Amino acid sequence: MNILGIESSCDECAAAVVEDGTWVLSNVVATQIPFHAIYKGVVPEIASRKHTEWIYGVVEEALLQAGLEPAGLDGVAVTAHPGLLGSLLVGLSFAKAFAWARNIPLIAVDHMLAHLYASQLSESKAAPVVPAEYPFLGLLVSGGHSIICRVDDFDGVTVLGTTIDDAVGEAFDKVSNHYGFGYPGGAAIDKLAQTGDPLAFNFPLPKLYKGEHRYDLSYSGLKTAVINQLEQFRRKPASEVRPGDIAASFQKTAVDILLRSLFRAVEDTGLRTIVGGGGVAANSYLRRLLGEGQGLRCIFPPLKLCGDNGAMIAGLGYRYLIRGERSPLTVRASARVKAFKRSYP
Ligand code: KG4
Ligand code: ZN
């Protein structure tokens, strides 16, 4: 079964074709980053306009690369939430029109569930992935969200912890901005950190371990401490400044914050499989640390599928479709996370 996946929740205009919820036949991501970078963040109106201009060409390219005509598709999956409303509406309206015109099912899905699903996709039939068995712990880390959750099924997620202020990716982006690396900056900080000493600075860890905050996260204190340190560096002669040290120490602390809460959840739930997803799941330090055994099985999507893409949408859509579900053509977009329930320790 071939599903077309459409993703337009933020600043990537993306479409992909996935066979049987597993095999990525094509994966086209047109990034709008250059149009937003000068504003140091995503400008919602520009994002919606670019999606409107690009969506047809992106979908056409995804079909071309998959070697399929529209008649070869069995369904259209699309992100309906969460995200920028204007951007979501472009993809959703396009998908509705496509499904209606071809008389094939429409499946509206949640973007965060799709990030979790990304690790089940295989980019080549020669290298099939072995998906994690449910239940497992999910680590969803992106520019807009930081979520530690228990995952019982592709659509059965219970949030254990989340950020009480900034998302982890947002902290990377703000620190990057202070370095003058522009937006988004996670990958640039990751690269710079490889040149520095992670123990050079002792940045503060949030004191969130009691009561209902046991698995929660916070990044605003770290972000402020790092920005203050960068300001101090600005006043020093260039020979005394080692920018890589701040980046490496920031990255270490940002990942430590995630892992402290995650390991508490491992201990409390007894679940020893962890599945990552979202743009920050591409972080090399996080992947290395979680890959270092500790008796855990840690599964990350391939780097190309960590950020926003249509393949994760198509894969997740397939799961709903084979369960006999589809969305009405009246389905609505929503800016907020829908499919998650919160559980307190
Ligand atoms: O999932 P995503 O593509 O979009 C959202 O749904 O937000 O995540 C984008 C975020 C940005 O904040 C970006 O800076 C961050 O992921 N990111 C990284 C890395 N690559 C992307 N953060 C840390 N290390 C990276 N290597
Ligand atoms: Zn995302």
Ordered by start, the domain boundaries in the chain are: 2-123+305-340, 136-301
Residue recorded with tokens 């977009």: 333
Specify the pLDDT at position 345.
65
Angstrom distances, CA of residue 342 to CA of 110, 143, 144, 160: 16, 20, 17, 6
114 Cα to the center of ligand 2, angstroms: 9
Q: Is pLDDT of 220 > 90?
A: yes
Top mutation candidate among 9, 142, 258 for ligand 1, by most atoms within 8 Å of CB: 142
Six-digit token pair at 91?
């993809």
Q: 94: which DSSP letter?
A: H
CA of 10 to the centre of ligand 2 (A): 8
Whether 316 has a pLDDT exceeding 70, the answer reads yes
Task: State the CB neighbour count (10 A cutoff) for residue 267.
Answer: 9
Q: What is the pTM of this model?
A: 0.94
Q: Which atom of ligand 1 is nearest to the CA of 278?
A: 1
How far separated are the first and last CA of the chain, in Å rounded?
41
- Residues contacting 149, CB < 8 A, separation 6+: 137, 138, 140, 157, 158, 159, 160, 340
Q: Could you give the CA distance from residue 35 to residue 145 in angstroms, rounded to a whole number? A: 23
Calculate the average pLDDT of the chain.
94
Tell me the pairing of strands 273-277 and 297-299: parallel
pLDDT value, residue 340: 78
Q: Which two tokens stand for residue 90?
A: 């472009």
Q: What is the pLDDT confidence band of residue 61, given thresholds at 50, 70 and 90? A: very high
Place of tokens 């690790």: 119
Any idea which ligand is nearest the CA of 169? 1
Q: Do domains 2-123+305-340 and 136-301 have the same CATH topology?
A: yes
For the domain 136-301, what is the CATH code?
3.30.420.40
How large is the average pLDDT for residues 138-148? Answer: 94
What is the model's pLDDT at position 18? 98
State residue 211's pLDDT score.
75
Q: Using CA positions, which residue lies closest to atom 2 of ligand 1?
A: 279
Ligand 1 closest atom vs CA 144: 7
pLDDT digits (tens, 9 = 90+) for 333-345: 999 887 777 777 6
Ligand 1: residues with CB < 6 A are 10, 142-144, 169, 172-173, 184-187, 190, 278-280, 282-283, 307-308
Contact 120, 21 (CB under 8 A): yes
DSSP at 211: G
pLDDT tens digits, 203-213: 989 987 777 88
**Cα 64 to ligand 1 centre (Å):** 28
Name the CATH superfamily housing domain 2-123+305-340. ATPase, nucleotide binding domain (3.30.420.40)
**250 C-alpha to ligand 1 centroid (Å):** 15
**C-alpha 93 to ligand 1 mean position (Å):** 26
Q: Which atom of ligand 1 is nearest to the CA of 185?
A: 14
- Distance, C-alpha 108 to centroid of its chain: 18
Residue 92 confidence (pLDDT) above 70? yes
pLDDT value, residue 241: 72
Q: What ligand is nearest to the CA atom of residue 278?
A: 1
Helix, strand or coil for residue 205? coil
Q: Are 306 and 118 in contact (CB under 8 A)?
A: yes
The rounded Å distance from CA 140 to ligand 2 centre is 9
Helix (H, G, I), strand (E, B) or coil at 340: strand
Percent of the chain with pLDDT strictly greater than 70: 99
Query: CB under 8 Å to 293, separation ≥6 — which residues?
Result: none
pLDDT > 90 in the chain, percent:
82
